[in-house]
Every structure is written in C-alpha cells, then in structure tokens.
Structure 1
C-alpha cells in the first residue's frame, strides 16, 4: 500500500488543522512557505517544511498522493490568478499521475451579496469584491486544470473561519471589540476543526469530488457573536454602533458589504459530516474552555 502523503501549497491555518489530524494517523505532510524563517515553526508541528524561497521546484510534490491548495489568488491579475498553477504548472502536471485527491480552499465570498438570503453550491456566482472575483477565476483555473488531467478535484467554499487564536475573546477582553449594527446583516461561520474533518472526509471519498460549502448550521449577525463572547467572559457587552455612522477603515467596512446565509446540505449528505461545532455558541464555549485549560484541544 502506498504511503499517504499530503502536499500543502500555501500551508496556513486551516491546512495546519488538517495536518494535525493526518499526522496522528501516520501521514507524511509537506507544507510550503515562501519565507525561510517560517520553516522552523512549521517543522515544530510535525509538518515537513518546503521553502519555496530556496527550493523553487519542490521535489516533495512528486511524492504526494494528495494535494491541498490554500494559497490566495493574485488579485492584481485578470488571468493566471492562482500562483500555484502559474508558477508550478509543469511540476503539477508531472505529479498528477500519483494524485488521488486535490482540494482547493475557496471562500463563500464568490457568491457576493444576497441581502441576507440563502445560497447553495449551484447559486450563480456574483462576487462583489476584488477578492471574491479573483477566487472565482482561481476556482475556474483549477477546474480546467483538473479536468484536463483527469484529477479528482473538490472546491471548498469556506465561510468565516474561527478557532484557537482566531476568535472574539481577545478583543472583548481588551475592550476593543465593536458591535456594529447593520440591518439584515448576517454571516455564516465555520470552526477550523470542522474544516479539517470535512477535508479529511473528502480525502476518504475522492470519487465524491465537487463543490462544497463549508459552514455551520447557524448564520448570525456579527453583533450577536460579540455579545455572546462578552457574556461567556462575564464582561460588559460592547455598546451598539450604527453601521452608517460608525468610524471604520475601508477594509473593515467592506466586510459588511455582503450578507447571506450559506447552506451546507451537500457537505453533510455527500461526505457524511456531523459538525463538531454546529453553531458559534458551541464553538465559542469550547474555545473558552481551551483557553482556560479545562479541556484539551483533542477532546
């Protein structure tokens, strides 16, 4: 039996959560970075670092049985937006015969604004930001590449990601969290451990390739999440601020430009997913317990 090896292009937060699950089961995981100084931190997690700064054509790619792409697209280009396909196409073509599964991490931002309405995988893509448009083009580039080479490609459209080190507690504790109120504003979210289990389930079912929304069961206004985090901490709930008059940077304001609820039925049905954290309340409770050392990350 061939040893299972994952090559992670653009090894980041979600990829690391998957890597920890796989390494515990005996997998070899290669993770790329463009900065040599980050290699030691990657190695400390059990992932074998691949520095693209010093190794522009990674030999490890040819050893991979599974490939995960989580590198962001280049928003400055109208074509060839995916840096992996642009810079490593020939190496990917050579590696293709050994690849049993390919996963591309995208975003629900490809759907654009739906005024708080529902979207599913077949909803037409109408991105409203430069970032979302680049993701659409990157998805299309990977779909064409996979089709040409006969690869099992799954595209995972991730909702807003939270998890250890990425939650509202630090800002609530520091008194910098803000409850910005915009009428009918709603977001979908997903805990990073649920992202990891979805990816692993897909790897176990490469024949069920396709497009998957990855989100929990409870889309909610952002002010509700901040308020609940404050309640859990026993701290005052930050005052409400009207979106129209609140002082925010253009980047911060842009995150309120889209409102939608994301369906996750396909993820559950095709991949047999039972969410670890089906809503932000269960996820935040677990994060706080981990922060306080009441439970281990593995429980």
Structure 2
C-alpha cells in the first residue's frame, strides 16, 4: 500500500494494515520517521510498484497536489486498487435533506474539493472515491473540545450534519479491497444530528455543564466555523452497506463518543 498523505485517518489505516502483514509506504509534506517526503524521488518508485494506492491529500488553492505532480504516473500505474478520500462537502447545502451518491455536486463552498473529487473519478476506471463527513475518533472529538472549554453550543435546531468514526472509515476502505465495484461511496453513520445534541451528550458523559446556548448572530466564530452552519445535509450511506458489506461499529454519535471516552 502506498498512502499519499499520512494524516489522522490514514495513520489508523496504516497501523491496521501493518498489523495484518502489509508493507506500507506513506508520504508527508516533509519526510520523517514514518513517511517519505511528498516530493521525494522514492514516491514515483512507490507508485510504480504498489498494488494499492490511496490519497488523502486535500486540494491546495485550486488544484490537487497529488494529481498535479503524479497524475500521469498514477493513471499508468499497475496498481489494481486506487482510492481517494474526499468530502461530503461536495454536495453543498441540501436544506437538511438526505443526499446519496447520485445527488448533484458542486453547489457548496468547496469547489476545489469537488473538482478534485471528479478528477480522481476520471483518472482511471478503477478508482474508488470515499466521501467523508465530519471525522472523529480518539483524541479528536467533541469530548476533547468540551474538556478544553472550546465547545460552542449553537441554537440551530434545523441544522443537521453527519459524521463518522475514524475506525469505520478504515474498515470501509479495507472492505473495498475485495468487495464493491469502483465508484463513489459515502461513508457515514446512521444518525445525523445537530451540533448541540452532540455537545450535550459529550457533556453528559463527562459530567460537565452544558456551554451556554447561543444564536449564530451571538456566537464568536471564525469564518470557517460559521461556514459550517451555512450548509445542512444528511448523508445516506446505504451503498456502503450493500456493496461493501459494512455494518458500522459506531452507527451513531453516542456509541462513538462512548468509545472515545
């Protein structure tokens, strides 16, 4: 396996694969003990020899760095499995409605992500694109924000969003090695919910007082955080279940947060 972009999710995947006897090569922007540098000559050699290739590198400005630098080589690579970790942000605002893999894309804030998503699909006919909502897991969840006093409880009862536990992403990617045709897969849990509901449950687990309920107008947030509330959608992942045979370990935020705790 060659992993382009060793981050939170792909580190979990790499560890699981190594434990199962795989040889894993990974890249980071700058090389370190766990990964080679993205610009290293060793990357081209790894592309030419890997049986499985996965990119988790997000777009930078208006382009995908992996496709810009290695697109032609990836298109010709002998690998029999190629994957890309994308985002459900490509669906944009659905007004709280459900979206699935057949829903239109390109109506949201993430035009560069949408372009990268489509470019990976067009790169070769065996690519699997995994569209991911909010990712959480150990040491990276609302539990950590509540403990740090950084969680904001926003009064937006009509704003629902989907999420997925990092280990369910790993299981889904691994399942796709042997199951499911190439194409797009939403990977998400079964219970979209409001941000306030998730924060309140985390507070209950920790025995902490809820943060004050604020309106969007009252809340002091970065433009990025405020943009999160500009789009509302619920992500359907039935294709994941049907084609990859996945039954989620954490089908809702409650089971996932209990595991994080």
TM-score, structure 2 normalization: 0.95
Please point out which of 106, 110, 126 is paired with 2:106: 126
1:103 aligns with 2:83: yes
1:185 aligns with 2:159: yes
- The 5 A counterparts of 1:1-299 are 6-36=1-31, 39-40=32-33, 42=34, 49-55=35-41, 57-75=43-61, 77=62, 81-94=63-76, 96-97=77-78, 99-129=79-109, 132-147=110-125, 152-205=126-179, 208-288=181-261
Alignment-derived partner of residue 45 in structure 1: none
Give the direction of change, closer, same or farther, for the CA distance of 1:90–1:120 in structure 2 (3 Å limit): closer
Mapped to 1, the partners of 2:100 and 2:143 lie a distance apart of 30
Question: Which piece of structure 1 moves more, 57-66 or 224-233?
Answer: 57-66
1:109/1:127 contact within 8 Å kept: no
Q: How many residue pairs are counted as aligned between the two chains?
A: 261
Q: State the Cα distance separating 1:14 from its structure 2 match.
A: 1.2
Mapped to 2, the partners of 1:127 and 1:10 lie a distance apart of 27
2:93/2:230 contact within 8 Å kept: yes
TM-score, structure 1 normalization: 0.83
Give the direction of change, closer, same or farther, for the CA distance of 1:117–1:20 in structure 2 (3 Å limit): same
Mapped to 2, the partners of 1:109 and 1:220 lie a distance apart of 16
- For the pair shown, the structure with the greater C-alpha radius of gyration is 1
Q: For structure 1, list consecutive stretches of 5 or more residues without a partner in the other structure.
A: 1-5, 43-48, 289-299
SS of residue matched to 1:28: coil
Mapped to 1, the partners of 2:150 and 2:75 lie a distance apart of 48
Deviations 1:257-290 (A, max 9, x none): 11111101000000000101000000000110xx
Q: For structure 2, list consecutive stretches of 5 or more residues without a partner in the other structure.
A: none
Mapped to 1, the partners of 2:234 and 2:72 lie a distance apart of 39
Q: State the Cα distance separating 1:174 from its structure 2 match.
A: 2.5
